[in-house]
């Protein structure tokens, strides 16, 4: 199939890109009715069964990008509450301290509490009304290339191949087999979210990431809770630092008042921790047991669960975002402000700017890097740069822990994002993981972080109960979509060196070291639980796990999240 533009991924970045492109074409066709452009050859591929089902975030929306894209959007968009009150707390094991003032980056007046799932569904309707087709249930399994070059300036992306349907677990075609489509496109726009599989392949093949500034990630775990009236007000925002993470780990919690009786509560753990037994799911459960959170949640009911990774690295870790026939957007390209804990507006703006470059390519028939480079120029000249450049060293400043990180953040505030000397470099987060033998005595006393506990079923939950609340569904008779290169390495070397950390960092109980038939233990992969958070692809210490898309349509169902 031939297309002018293919947008891979129907999250906020992809939707904003599609809408802006449709607006530009409509405006062009009014002025140039004699040379109209068509939207028929523009399409979006989305791997979830319905638009928005794989979209997960806290979520707070900074409305800046939306006001540019659809002025007056507030009148009809699904916004749960306008932020009216913020507070920040530092939690100790027994007690908490309220920050006397809310640090400026965490002041959220004017932002909205939203369900990203509902918001993206609404954007999807706008995209379809604008005349752009969204194919749901189709994942991009690989990129199509016009040549074999691995040089950025010579290589050209020629489109996307979608996933095969109807393949059994042995890899054989079933009765309903349908091979994937080759969508040949002049411009391929990758908006797959964090650690997209096609974006990862592109970045690796063309060497787009600077190894001195590797992307770093966090894992966010979220639950929706119904709580008794009077505990958290609609539009109230609470952030916490500290417990249960120690000063060595990066992360913190949020509580957002969706309504007077419904809250979004979650915890982000930086995926650059040292202890291989760190268990982000358990970190969140321990947070809920702290008296501060317990007072809010007790007597309430958890109704939904989800987990995803998010890119923390910011401006310095942004890979090259354009080339011949392709552009990278949103979380796939590091458009997130980790100081403000916000990325939706940046993802949308990146999509809008990419749309302008794609529109120029449609007009001129030239989709080379020369034309699509306008996207990067526009990013550099936009408020994306103004927002991300002054916080470019923020996350990197925490490499030696919380205290140094806060001092570094204060210095950066004075130096407009700078530090003494050159900008900070950082390795990939998985390289920070220490071997079991290297852990000191104090590491073994950190049960709130490393213990994979069962939960009490009221306030805290085990992974399987949580996965049930994520609505995750995959056809069991399909190839395992977590490709582990060397199971012997898992069984022997990883057991010895790192204690199989996949059992702990996966928030969905996918990985399990189970008794094997011939004695001993081997890695069992319960792939149908996978909530597509991509943590295993990111955090495996040997980098031998590759997340590939399961058959399109499979995965979580984040309705209302
Ligand atoms: Fe996340 Fe990997 Fe577990 Fe799936 S298998 S939920 S992508 S860590």
If pLDDT is split at 50, 70 and 90, which confidence band does 366 have?
A: very high
Nearest to 142 by CA among 549, 552, 553: 549
Q: Based on the fold, state whether residues 325 and 407 are members of the same structural domain.
A: no
Residue 555 counted as domain residue = no
Q: Which residue's alpha carbon is nearest to atom 2 within ligand 1?
A: 536
User: Is the confidence at residue 449, as pLDDT, over 70?
Assistant: no
Cβ–ligand 1 contact at 510 (below 6 Å)? yes
Which band of pLDDT confidence, cut at 50, 70 and 90, is reported for residue 45?
very high
Percent of the chain with pLDDT over 70: 98
Q: Which atom of ligand 1 lies at the shortest distance from residue 529's CA?
A: 6
Q: Is the pLDDT of residue 452 over 80?
A: no
What is the 3-state secondary structure of 96-132? EEECCCCCHHHCCCCCEECCHHHHHHHHHHHHHHCCC
Q: Are residues 182 and 329 in the same domain?
A: yes
Q: Is 7 in the pocket of ligand 1 (CB under 6 A)?
A: no
Weakest-pLDDT range from 10-19, 49-58, 418-427: 418-427
Q: What is the pLDDT of residue 410?
A: 83
Using CA atoms, how far apart are residues 111 and 67, in angstroms rounded to an integer? Answer: 12
Give the residue among 215, 147, 138 at the shortest CA–CA distance from 182. 138
Residue 225 confidence (pLDDT): 98
pLDDT tens-digit series, residues 331-364: 999 999 999 999 999 999 999 999 999 999 999 9
Within a domain: 547: no
pLDDT for residue 445 is more than 70: no
Please state, in angstroms and as integers, the Cα–Cα distance from residue 42 to each residue in 18, 73, 74, 127, 438, following that order: 8, 24, 27, 11, 53
Same domain, 45 and 135: yes
pLDDT at 446: 62
Task: Provide mean pLDDT across the span 91-111.
Answer: 94
Contact status, residue 511 vs residue 500, Cβ threshold 8 Å:
yes
127 lies in which domain range?
A: 2-63+119-213+315-391
Q: How many domains does the chain have?
A: 3
**Distance, CA 84 to ligand 1 centroid (Å)?**
35
Instruction: Read off the pLDDT of each residue in 57-77 and give the average, rounded to a whole number.
Output: 97
Percentage of residues in the chain having pLDDT higher than 90: 87
525 lines ligand 1 (CB under 6 A): no
Q: How many CB atoms lie within 10 A of CB 30?
A: 9
- Residue 100's CATH number: 3.30.9.90
Of the pLDDT bands very low, low, confident and very high (cuts 50, 70, 90), residue 154 is very high
Average pLDDT for 391-398: 89
pLDDT tens digits, residue range 298-308? 999 999 999 99
The residue whose CA has the least distance to atom 8 of ligand 1 is 506
Both 301 and 319 in one domain: the answer is no
> Is the model's pLDDT at 389 over the cut of 90?
yes
Can you tell me the mean pLDDT for 109-121?
A: 97
Q: What are phi and psi of 28, to 5 degrees?
A: -65, -45
* Class of residue 147 by CB neighbours under 10 A (exposed 0-12, middle 13-18, buried 19+): exposed
452: helix, coil or strand?
Answer: coil
- Mean pLDDT score across all residues of the chain: 94
Q: 296 and 206 in one domain?
A: no
Please give the number of the atom of ligand 1 that sits closest to the Cα of 532. 7
Say which range, 163-172, 315-324, 365-374, 413-422, has the weakest mean pLDDT.
413-422
Q: Is the pLDDT of residue 443 over 70?
A: no
Residue 313: per-residue pLDDT: 94
Q: Tokens 């939690």 appear where?
A: 91
Answer whether residue 124 shows pLDDT above 60: yes
Give the integer Cα–Cα distance in Å for 39 and 61: 29
* Final residue belonging to a domain, choices 351, 369, 391: 391
Q: Is 104 exposed, middle or buried (0-12, 13-18, 19+ CB in 10 A)?
A: exposed
**pLDDT, greater one: 270 or 447:** 270
Is residue 442's pLDDT more than 70?
no
Q: Which atom of ligand 1 is nearest to the CA of 525?
A: 5
Pairing of β 182-190 and β 81-82: unpaired
Cα–Cα nearest to 528, from 546, 550, 507, 506? 550
Task: State the pLDDT confidence band at 100, using cuts at 50, 70 and 90.
Answer: very high
Q: Measured in whole angstroms, how far is the alpha carbon of residue 142 from the centre of its chain?
A: 19
Cα separation, 66 vs 83, whole angstroms:
17
Residue 112, pLDDT above cutoff 90: yes
On whether residue 536 sits in a domain, the answer given is no
3-state secondary structure of 409: helix
Query: Can you tell me the mean pLDDT for 369-378?
Result: 98
* pTM listed for this prediction: 0.96
Same domain assignment for residues 306 and 228: yes
**Residue 128 shares a structural domain with residue 230:** no
The answer, yes or no, to whether residue 327 has pLDDT greater than 90, is yes
- CA-CA distance, 281 to 278, in Å (whole number)? 9
Q: How far is the CA of 410 from the centre of ligand 1 (A)?
A: 35
| Centroid of ligand 1 to alpha carbon of 537 (angstroms) | 8
Query: Are residues 146 and 48 both part of a single domain?
Result: yes
Distance in Å, CA 10 to ligand 1 centroid: 20
Residue 444 confidence (pLDDT): 57
pLDDT at 448: 58
Instruction: With respect to residue 375, please indicate whether it lies within any of the assigned structural domains.
Output: yes
Mean pLDDT for 503-514 is 95
Partner residues linked to 43 by β-bridges: 6, 133
Answer with the one of 311, 338, 373 that is the final residue of a domain.
311
* Domain assignment of residue 488, yes or no: no
State the distance from the centre of ligand 1 to the C-alpha of 244, rounded, in angstroms: 23
Residues near 484 by beta carbon (within 8 Å), at least 6 away in sequence: 490, 523, 525, 544, 545
Residue 398: per-residue pLDDT: 85
| Shared domain check, 344 and 285 | no
Q: How many degrees, rounded to 5, is the angle at CA 28 between CA 25 and CA 30?
A: 110
Q: What is the pLDDT of residues 522-544, one digit of tens each?
A: 999 999 999 999 999 999 999 99
pLDDT band at 503 (very low <50, low <70, confident <90, very high): very high
Rounded Cα gap, residues 144 and 424, in angstroms? 35
Q: Which of 511, 506, 508 is nearest to 473 (CA)?
A: 508
Distances (CA, A) of 83 to 115, 221, 237, 252: 14, 21, 7, 19
The yes-or-no verdict on residue 447 having pLDDT over 60 is: no
Q: What are the C-alpha distances in Å from 318 to residues 138, 346, 388, 484?
A: 27, 13, 11, 27
221-273 confidence digits (pLDDT tens): 999 999 999 999 999 999 999 999 988 899 999 999 999 999 999 999 999 99
Measured between alpha carbons, how far is 283 from 270 in angstroms, rounded to an integer? 11
Q: Look at residue 503 and tell me if it is in a domain.
A: no
Ligand 1 and 318: CB distance under 6 A: no
The residue nearest atom 1 of ligand 1, judged by CA position, is 533
Task: Please tell me whether residues 59 and 176 are part of one structural domain.
Answer: yes
In a domain, residue 170? The reply is: yes
Q: What is the CATH number of the domain that holds 184?
A: 3.50.50.60
* Number of separate helices (H) and strands (E) present in the chain: 16, 24
161, part of any domain:
yes
Give the separation between CA 313 and CA 393, rounded to whole angstroms.
8
CA of 369 to the centre of ligand 1 (A): 34
**Closest Cα to atom 7, ligand 1: which residue?**
534
Same domain assignment for residues 299 and 351? no
Q: Within a 10 A sphere around the Cβ of 493, how many other Cβ atoms?
A: 13
- What pLDDT, on a 0 to 100 scale, did the predictor assign at position 451? 66
- The verdict on 49 and 36 lying in the same domain is yes
DSSP symbol at 391: G
Instruction: Take residue 212 and report the two structure tokens written for it.
Output: 């001195």
Q: Give me 320's structure tokens.
A: 């090259």
């Amino acid at each position: 199939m031939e297309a002018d533009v293919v947008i891979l991924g129907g999250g906020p970045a992809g939707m904003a890109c599609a809408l802006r492109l449709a607006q530009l074409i409509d405006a062009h066709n009014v002025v140039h009715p004699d040379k109209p452009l068509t939207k028929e050859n523009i399409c979006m591929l989305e791997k979830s069964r319905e638009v928005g089902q794989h979209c997960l975030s806290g979520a707070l929306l900074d409305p800046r990008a939306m006001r540019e894209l659809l002025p007056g959007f507030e009148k009809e968009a699904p916004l749960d509450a306008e932020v009216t009150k913020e507070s920040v707390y530092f939690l100790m094991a027994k007690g908490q301290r309220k920050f006397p003032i809310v640090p400026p980056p965490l002041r959220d007046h004017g932002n909205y509490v939203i369900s990203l799932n509902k918001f993206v569904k609404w954007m999807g309707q706008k995209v379809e009304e604008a005349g752009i087709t969204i194919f749901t249930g189709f994942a991009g399994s690989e990129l199509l290339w016009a040549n074999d070059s691995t040089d950025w300036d010579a290589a050209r992306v020629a489109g996307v191949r979608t996933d095969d349907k109807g393949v059994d677990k042995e890899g054989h075609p079933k009765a309903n087999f349908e091979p994937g489509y080759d969508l040949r496109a002049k411009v391929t726009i990758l908006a797959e979210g964090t650690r997209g599989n096609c974006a990862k392949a592109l970045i690796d093949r063309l060497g787009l990431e600077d190894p001195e500034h590797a992307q770093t990630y966090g894992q966010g775990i979220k639950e929706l809770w119904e709580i008794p009236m009077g505990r958290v007000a609609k539009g109230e925002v609470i952030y916490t630092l500290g417990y249960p993470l120690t000063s060595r780990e990066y992360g913190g919690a949020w509580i957002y008042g969706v309504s007077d009786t419904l809250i979004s509560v979650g915890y982000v753990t930086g995926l650059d921790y040292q202890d291989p037994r760190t268990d982000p799911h358990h970190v969140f459960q321990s947070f809920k047991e702290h008296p501060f959170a317990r007072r809010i949640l007790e007597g309430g009911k958890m109704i939904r669960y989800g987990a995803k990774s998010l890119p923390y690295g910011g401006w310095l870790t942004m890979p090259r975002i354009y080339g011949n026939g392709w552009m990278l957007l949103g979380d796939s390209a590091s458009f997130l402000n980790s100081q403000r804990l916000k990325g939706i507006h940046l993802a949308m703006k990146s999509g809008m700017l990419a749309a302008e470059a794609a529109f120029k390519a449609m007009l001129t028939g030239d989709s080379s890097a020369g034309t699509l480079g306008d996207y990067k120029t526009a990013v550099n000249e936009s408020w994306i740069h103004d927002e991300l450049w002054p916080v470019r060293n923020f996350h990197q400043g925490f490499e030696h822990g919380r205290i140094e990180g806060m001092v570094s953040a204060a210095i950066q505030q004075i130096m407009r994002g700078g530090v003494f000397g050159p900008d900070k470099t950082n390795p990939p987060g998985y390289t920070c993981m220490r071997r079991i033998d290297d852990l000191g005595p104090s590491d073994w006393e950190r049960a709130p972080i490393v213990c994979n506990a069962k939960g009490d079923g009221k306030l805290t939950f085990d992974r399987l109960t949580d996965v049930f609340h994520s609505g995750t569904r995959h056809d069991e008779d399909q190839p395992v979509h977590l490709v582990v290169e060397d199971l012997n390495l898992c069984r022997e070397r990883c057991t010895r060196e790192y204690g199989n950390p996949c059992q702990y960092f996966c928030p969905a109980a996918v990985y399990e070291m189970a008794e094997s038939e011939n004695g001993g233990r081997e890695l069992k992969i319960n792939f149908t639980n996978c909530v597509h958070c991509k943590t295993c692809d990111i955090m495996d210490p040997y980098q031998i796990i590759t997340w590939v898309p399961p058959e399109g349509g499979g995965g979580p169902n984040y309705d209302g999240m």
